[in-house]
Homo-oligomer: A and B are copies of this chain.
Amino acid sequence: MNENELTAMAGRYREILRHAVYLVRSLDAEGQLSTGHVSTLNMVANAPARVSDIARNSGIRVPSATEQVIKLETAGLVERSVDPNDARVVLVALTPAGRAALAEANAFRNGIIAKALAALTDAERAAIDAAIPAIAKLNAALSAQ
């Protein structure tokens, strides 16, 4: 691919991404947790995370992450604790209620997308699934820039 072809492909990619982003965001309306909240909860699902980790992974600044975490804490979905090894660090962990809410929200969102995927042909689904690792790598390349 030469530069012109790459740029044209970039335009195509941006276009579908724009639509997809909006659609994913609109899943919020029907759910209880916002997309941002679900992302944050997903981030602490496996292990407690620092506020700064959440910020970096979400692509937001630390004060914004603090705000998110405080809201989730008020809702009883996460707990904050001071890192015993470094008292500057706040560790954010899921509560049982948070784990339940996260599972429900993920099931709800995945269910909607699964229903839309069911409307595609096998070939179309295969094309998307085959592209997922490549898109993940593209995301990584964009992050690295």
Binding site for B on A (CB under 8 A): 1, 3, 6-7, 9-14, 16-26, 35, 39, 58-60, 106-107, 109-120, 122-125, 127-139, 141-143, 145
Contact = CB atoms under 8 A, between A and B. Distances in A.
Contacts of A106: 11
B13 A17 contact: no
A14 to B, nearest CB: 6
B114 A3 contact: yes
A20 to B, nearest CB: 6
Nearest to A23: B142
A59 B29 CA distance: 12
Contact of A116 (B112, B127, B142): B142
Given A10-B110, A59-B22, A131-B131, A137 B124 contact: yes
A132 B12 contact: yes
Contact of A21 (B21, B119, B127, B145): B21
21 contacts: A1-B122, A1-B125, A3-B114, A9-B114, A13-B113, A13-B117, A14-B110, A18-B24, A18-B35, A22-B59, A22-B60, A23-B142, A112-B145, A116-B138, A116-B142, A117-B138, A120-B137, A124-B133, A124-B138, A128-B134, A128-B138
